[in-house]
Structure 1
Amino acid sequence: MIVKGLSRQILVAMASVTVAAGFLVFFGTYLAFTVLFYFSPWAEDTDDWLTGFDFIILAVLIFIALIVAALASVRLARRILEPLESLAKSARRIKDGDLSARATPGDHSLGETALLVEDFNAMAQRLQDMASDMTLWNATIAHELRTPLTILKGRLQGMIDGVFVPDEKSLHALVAQVDSLARLVEDLRTVTLADSGHLDLRLQPVRLKNEIERLVEMLDKDLKQEGFDLRLALSDVLVSVDAMRIRQVLLALLTNARRYAMRGVIEISLRVEHDQAILCVADEGPGLAPDIAFTAFEPFRRGGESGSLEKGGNGLGLSVVRAIVEAHGGKVRYAQSDKGGALFEIILAKPLS
């Protein structure tokens, strides 16, 4: 109904303009010749003026021009209406829940109309992607929450029924599950806030070398017990960052290496290159599988069905890294290290002088 109404309005408007233009040309020409005849210096010396036959010829010519203009107007109206009709139909389908609807641009010579349709299609594609992502997020979050909640419920019910003794070991296991839930919720919060541009950062001048050394000092003993050797190659760089968030990034990368890398050296380096501070974390392998190397920073992205679940991960670690780094205006990328392992490179803003 809307499309038909729009078509009728445009056709009537263009036809009216064409007819009005025809009448304006006809009567305007007559009026112009009348003025010229009566006010010209030679008007009294000549009896020649437009005859009735002249008016007939003029009327026929204007009528032919009117027909040509009307046909051109109708054709132009159809060229304009085709993409607009497609746009209106697609908009109604999207309103009814069909996010796969797309409009047809039609004649690309109508630049603005074609751009309007392309923008509409881009908007529709983004809506569809967002809906798909939301569905995936809901399903994945439910999956992630189910395991610790099931364990908590089972253990607590067993203690109530007397199957399990509420000793210190059992309570520590329950606390570990609660910690897992808390970590998942905090990671989800960080990623969501960063995607919406509302991640709170407390920027201040920070010497990254000192922050890295303090964190490594805390983790060094545990990592050595698991067979890892931390090696540092740090330049003294002063950067405006949120120190707590940068520690969170480095901790996530070290935890990732701790879970998946082979026992050996983990190297942390910090340097200045092209007026940028570059923080790198590299291990000795095996690195990321080719099927996830380009999507490793997407939420809940895993190399296998349950790999990170078995090792205590929730699939959000690298997403948190990307969210925090991009909130600082930086970039994070993955490459293969010289030893065949994973190399995560964090590029931060220009260092302070």
Structure 2
Amino acid sequence: MRRDRLSRQITLSMSIVAAIAVLMAFVGTFIFYGIYLTWFPPPPGPPSLLPEAPDFVLIAVFLLLGLAIAIHAALRLTRRILAPLNSLAEGARKIAAGDLTARAVAGDRSLGETAQLVDDFNVMAQRLQDVAKSMTSWNATIAHELRTPLTILRGRLQGLTDGVFEPSDELFRSLLAQVESLSRLVDDLRIVTLSDTLRLDVRIEPVDLVAEVSQAVDAMRPALIDAGFSVQLTTSPVTLSCDGVRIRQALLALLENARRYARPGRLEVVLHPEDAAVVLSVEDEGPGLSVEFAARAFDAFARAEPSRSRQFGGSGLGLSVVRAIAEAHGGQAQYRRSSTGGSVFEIVLPVRNPDVGSVRVSSSVGYTSRIGPTPS
């Protein structure tokens, strides 16, 4: 295993050093005595079985020589180990001081554990940098989104105070619309933030999804008709354990997204069980999303072309709210192109997730209703 490289190298290195020291003392003694006795034969008589003083001195010399080699090898191994660790400590100090661009250098990658530690540290540092950059972008975007309605409110109220504007129902409705826009923006931000921190609460209970979907469509009916849409609602009677209020909120966000950006025409809302899930989809007649934007359509503050954003407005949070609600139920939000080139936004809610509950589908057939003018 890769993670055993360091311990294996330390064990092997120390074993080799110890073996070298022992072999030098043992073999060196034999070589020395072989040469010494060749030139200086011992006197006749039985040899002494105990080492004498010169023997101890000789053994000590060879042991010291082996120890010197062992120390040299240990220092080289220590430098190999400490180099990435020192780089890691230096990188940690720089990040603690606010330099999120600091990275550690793995050095000798043959040391598996230290190299893996450095790689993990660099991944963590990169994520911290990405989070900091994302927070900066979020703060700037939030400030931008809040500035417009606040500026309008301040200007209108200042005009009322100075007598520039005459109080009227139309003016008060305009002010109320700006307040509602602020309220909606704050609520969307709250949902997305709670979802990112995995703290978005949902109240799970058996819900008649047909009633929730119909209620959301009815709420959007006047705005959709005024925008030139006809809504076709196709449902199968489904009871699912979920948060009905959140599901209705997600569908309202999809309908509002279609009202802003889709081409006026037929808008089809479909609710039906599919395999082990319940799918709620909204299909329009185009123009659809580009391939590049489709990949990040559900990201917070993601917007299509700047010209369309300026024309139709919006905070760029609607689809991210849909995704947050779907994921809070253990499901997902997704986009695909329809066969006619339009957009299909889907909320897929699983029914086998123990945190979600079960689904009951009536044996009766589904029904289809049409709201708004019949398309030509």
Q: CA RMSD in A?
A: 2.8
Counterpart AA for 1:320? V
State the distance in 2 between where 1:238 and 1:110 align. Answer: 57
- Equivalent positions of 1:137-176 (< 5 A) are 137-176=138-177
The TM-score, its normalising length taken from structure 2, stands at 0.78
Structure-1 separation of matches of 2:344 and 2:70: 68
Q: Structure 1 unaligned runs (5+)?
A: 1-16, 30-44
- Aligned mates of 1:258, 1:154 — CA distance in 2: 28
Report the alpha carbon displacement of residue 340 of structure 1 after superposing the two structures with TM.
0.8
Could you report, residue by residue, the CA deviation over 1:115-148 in whole angstroms, capped at 9, with x for unpaired residues?
2212211111111111111111111111111111
Deviation string for 1:220-249 (max 9, x for gaps)?
Answer: 344234321222332333322111001011
Q: For 2:194 and 2:318, locate their aligned partners in 1 and report how far apart those are by CA, in whole Å.
A: 15
Structure 1 residues 59 and 212: CA distance shift in structure 2, 3 A: same
Q: Residue type matched to 1:196 in 2? A: T
Q: How far is the alpha carbon of 1:67 from its aligned partner?
A: 2.6
Question: Structure 1 pair 342/49, CA: closer, same or farther in 2 (3 Å)?
Answer: same
What residue is the counterpart of 1:314 in the other structure? 315
Is 2:210 the partner of 1:209?
A: yes
Tell me the distance in 2 between the aligned counterparts of 1:189 and 1:149: 19
Q: Quote the Cα distance in structure 2 between the aligned partners of 1:148 and 1:336.
A: 34
CA distance in 2, matches of 1:192, 1:308: 23
Contact 1:337 1:343 in 2 (8 A): yes
| Counterpart for residue 366 of structure 2 | none
Q: Cα deviations across residues 10-46 of structure 1 (Å, max 9, x unaligned)?
A: xxxxxxx99xx89x979xx9xxxxxxxxxxxxxxx99
Measured after TM superposition, the shift of residue 102 of structure 1 is 0.6
Distance in 2, matches of 1:183 and 1:166, equals: 25
Shift of 1:51: 4.8
The answer to whether the 8 A contact 2:323-2:333 is kept is yes
Aligned partner of residue 280 in structure 1, secondary structure: strand
* CA distance in structure 2 between the partners assigned to 1:244 and 1:50 by the alignment: 94
User: What secondary structure does 2:291 align onto?
Assistant: coil
| Kept after mapping to 1: 8 A contact 2:286/2:343 | yes
CA contact (8 A) 2:220 2:252 kept: no
**Paired AA for residue 288 in structure 2:** G
Give me the whole-angstrom Cα distance separating, in 1, the residues matched to 2:238 and 2:62: 83
| 2:70 aligned partner | 69
Q: How many residues align?
A: 319
Match of 1:343 in 2: 344
Deviation of 1:213 (Å): 2.2
1:234 and 2:235 are equivalent in the alignment: yes
CA distance in 1, matches of 2:129, 2:254: 32
CA distance in structure 1 between the aligned counterparts of 2:54 and 2:274, rounded to whole angstroms: 88
3-state DSSP class of the match of 1:343? strand
Counterpart residue type for residue 82 of structure 1: A
Secondary structure of the 2:293 match is coil
Aligned CA distance change for structure 1 residues 57 and 256 (closer, same or farther; 3 Å): same
Instruction: Give the 5 Å matches for 1:1-353.
Output: 48-52=49-53, 54-305=55-306, 307-350=308-351, 352-353=358-359
The residue aligned with 1:37 is none
Contact 1:276 1:349 in 2 (8 A): yes
User: Does 53-62 or 70-79 show the bigger shift?
Assistant: 53-62
Residues 22 and 66 of structure 2 are in contact (CA less than 8 Å); yes or no, is this contact kept in structure 1? no
Verify the 8 A CA contact 2:217 2:252 in the aligned structure 1: no
> CA offset at residue 170 of structure 1?
0.8
Structure 2 residue matching 1:266: 3-state secondary structure: strand
Residue type of the partner of 2:118?
Answer: V
Whether the 8 Å contact between 2:141 and 2:301 is mirrored in structure 1 is yes
* Change over 3 Å in CA distance of 1:59–1:248 after alignment to 2: same
Q: Which moved more, 1:222-231 or 1:143-152?
A: 222-231
Distance 1:241 1:309 in 2: 36
CA distance in 2, matches of 1:192, 1:309: 25
Q: Is 1:291–1:303's contact at 8 Å kept on the other side of the alignment?
A: no
Aligned residue for 2:294, secondary structure, equals coil
Counterpart-to-counterpart distance in 2, 1:317 and 1:262: 18
Instruction: Tell me how far 1:56 sits from its aligned partner.
Output: 4.8
Q: 1:235 to 1:67 in 2, by over 3 A?
A: farther
Cα distance in 1 for partners of 2:216, 2:170 equals: 29
Aligned with 1:240: secondary structure?
A: strand
Point out which structure has higher relative CO (alpha carbons under 8 A, 6+ apart): 2
Equivalent position amino acid for 2:97 in 1: D
Structure 1 equivalent of residue 43 of structure 2: none
